[in-house]
Structure 1
Amino acid sequence: MTSPSEEDIRVWCRLCHAEDQANDLIVTVRDIEAMYVEWRRRLRAGTRARQEKLISIEGETEFMRWHEPILIPGLLHTAEYATAVLQRVAAFYEVPNDVDAGVSARMEMQQILYSPHHRFHFVIGQQALRTVVGSRDVMIGQLDRLLSVMSMSRVRLGIIPAGAPYVVPSNQFIIFDERLVHIEAVTAEIAVTQPREVTMYLRSFAALAQLASYDADARTIIMAELSHLQAVKERLESS
C-alpha cells in the first residue's frame, strides 16, 4: 500500500467539495510518513546512520527521559554490550552488517552525558540487569558501567524492582524534552509529536519513575545482580 500523492489528495478534496482542507491533509500525510518508519528502511544503509540521526536529535535536547524494561539504554552501553545488541539487530532485520561503525557512533553519542547543557533521567526494569546480552562477561562489564554513571551529576538512574506493581501501560520509549517521543516497536520506529500523546508518555514516565529505586537502593540492586553473575561465572569455570 502506498501513500497518496499531493495531487491525489487535492483531487479527492475537490470531488468532496472540500478544497480548503487539502493543505492540512497533505501536511498530515507527511507527518504520518515521518512518524512511522520501518526498521528495514531505517537501517537499509546499516546501523551507523541510525546512530548518527540520534546524535543530532539528542544534541537538540536539554532533558531526556528514557524508559527501558528489558535492555540497558543505548547511551549507557559499553562497547561490548553495544556490539552484541547491534549484531542481533543487523541479523534480525537482515541489513548491512556495519556493526563496528555503528558501535563507534554509539560510543560517540555518549559524549553528550558529559555536556553541561543536558540532563538525563533513565528508568529501567530490573530485568534489564538480568537479560544476558552477549555473555556473562559482557554483562559484568555493563553492570560495572551502570555503577559508574550513577555518580554523574546530570544523570539520574532509577531501577524498577522485579516485584513492583503494575500501575500504567508501558513499553520502551524515549522522551526528548516535551516535544518528541521515540518508540522502538518490532517492525518500525515510531515518532510521536502530538502534544496530547506526548503528555500521556510524560504521565507514564512519571508513574514509572515513582516505582523506581534510586541512589543507594539502586546501587544495592545492581550490586546484587553483579554478585549473582560473578558467582555463576565462577561456578561454571570451576566445574
Structure 2
Amino acid sequence: MPESPSSSAQAARERVANRLRVLRAEAGLTGSELAARCGWTHPKTSRIENARTPPSPDDIRRWCKACDAVNQAPDIIAQSLNAESQFVEWQRRVRAGLRHLQDSYVRLYESTELFRIYSPNLIPGLLQTEGYACALLSGIARLFDVPDDAKQAAAARVERSEIINKAGHRFVLVIEESALYHQLGDHDAMAAQLGYLLTAGALPAVSLGIIPSATPDRSLFPQELFHMYDDTLVSVELISARVTHTQPSEIALYTRAFETLRSMAVYGAGARALIVRAIDALR
C-alpha cells in the first residue's frame, strides 16, 4: 500500500531534521549552544530538529557554520527544498484563477506518453465533459473563496483533454464504480458525462477500467486520487494540496498499487454495463 502522501512529505522533512541533528551531535554542541551560535532561541532549534518547523536556507547555512560543516550546507538546502516542494498548496495555486491552473498542466500533458490515473470518487479530468467540469470547478472556487471562473476553466480543461485524440499518448484510467453516482451539475450534465464515458472508453488509446462496488475480498481498499506521468512523476491530490513524488522507490510503490487496483477493474463490455446502469439510475 502506498505511504500516505502527507506522511511521505513529512518523512522527507524528518530526514532533513535528522541530518541537522546529527551534525549538531557530531560537533559536540547542545541545543542551547547551537542556538546561541546561530543567533536564535533554543525552542527554534528544537522545532527544527523535531521537523515541526522547516528550516530556511539561511537557517541551514547558520546551522552548518555553527557545526563547522559549511561544505554540507548546499546539499542539505537542496534536500530541504525538495522536501518542501512535495506539497503545493491549492490555495496558492488557485489565486491566479482556475483557468490558469488548467493551463499550467499543458506542457506536462504534452510531454507524457503514458498516463495512469486512479480516481475513487470523480470522473478523471481527462474524461470530463464541460458541464461536469464546470460544476466541479465552481465548487472548488467556493471552497477556496476565490473568483469563480469555472466556465472558462472547464472549457480549458476540455480543450486540454483533446490530447487523448493525439498520437503518441496512451491512457490507462481506473475508477471506482461509486464515481459514476456522485452527481455534479444538473441531471442533463451528469447524463452527458456518463454518455461521454461510453464514447471515450472506446477510443483506441484509452483503457477505462471500473472497479465494481460489489468486488469481494478486495486486495487493496480505495486510495486517494493520483496521476502517474510515465515513470517520472506521481501527483496525489488532497483537499488542501497536491503532493508530488519523484523518488524511484515511491513511484515503484504507486506503480504496484495501480497495478493491483487495475487488476480488480472490469473493462470493455463489463465497464459499459456499469456505466449504462448508472445512466439508468438517473431516470
Instruction: Say whether the fold is shared (TM-score over 0.5).
Output: yes
> Does structure 2 retain, via aligned residues, the 8 Å contact 1:86–1:99?
yes
Structure 2: 5+ residue runs without aligned partners? 1-51
The answer to which of 200-209 and 162-171 deviates more is 162-171
- State percent identity of aligned pairs: 39
Q: What amino acid does structure 2 have at the position aligned with 1:219? A: R
Tell me how far apart the structure 1 counterparts of residues 208 and 119 of structure 2 sit (CA, whole Å).
11
Q: 1:193: Cα distance to partner? A: 1.0
Q: 1:163: Cα distance to partner? A: 1.4
Tell me how far apart the structure 2 counterparts of residues 57 and 91 of structure 1 sit (CA, whole Å).
27
Which deviations, in whole Å up to 9, do the C-alpha atoms of 1:63-115 show, x marking residues without a partner? 00000011000110111000000000000111121112211210111111011
- Of 210, 218, 224, which aligns to 1:171? 224
Q: 1:166: Cα distance to partner? A: 3.0
> Does structure 2 retain, via aligned residues, the 8 Å contact 1:90–1:97?
yes
Tell me how far apart the structure 2 counterparts of residues 186 and 216 of structure 1 sit (CA, whole Å).
34
> Does structure 2 retain, via aligned residues, the 8 Å contact 1:45–1:96?
no
Alignment of 1:36-47 (within 5 A): 36-47=87-98
Aligned equivalent of 1:13: 64
Q: What amino acid does structure 2 have at the position aligned with 1:204? A: A
- Of 80, 100, 111, which aligns to 1:29? 80
Structure 1: 5+ residue runs without aligned partners? 231-239
Q: 1:36: Cα distance to partner? A: 0.4
State yes or no: 1:64 paired with 2:115.
yes
Tell me how far apart the structure 2 counterparts of residues 16 and 101 of structure 1 sit (CA, whole Å).
54
Tell me how far apart the structure 1 counterparts of residues 252 and 185 of structure 2 sit (CA, whole Å).
36
* Larger RCO, structures 1/2 (Cα 8 Å, 6+ apart): 1
SS state of the match for residue 136, structure 2?
helix
The answer to which of 162-171 and 109-118 deviates more is 162-171
Tell me how far apart the structure 1 counterparts of residues 156 and 54 of structure 2 sit (CA, whole Å).
33
Tell me how far apart the structure 2 counterparts of residues 150 and 212 of structure 1 sit (CA, whole Å).
13
The answer to which of 154-163 and 131-140 deviates more is 131-140
What TM-score do you get using the length of structure 1 for normalisation?
0.92
Aligned equivalent of 2:249: 196
Which deviations, in whole Å up to 9, do the C-alpha atoms of 1:147-185 show, x marking residues without a partner? 000111000000000012332352110000011111110
* Structure 1 outlier segments of 4+, above 4 Å: none
- Of 146, 169, 172, which aligns to 2:197? 146
Aligned equivalent of 2:42: none
Tell me how far apart the structure 2 counterparts of residues 200 and 167 of structure 1 sit (CA, whole Å).
15
Tell me how far apart the structure 2 counterparts of residues 99 and 26 of structure 1 sit (CA, whole Å).
38
Q: 1:2: Cα distance to partner? A: 7.0
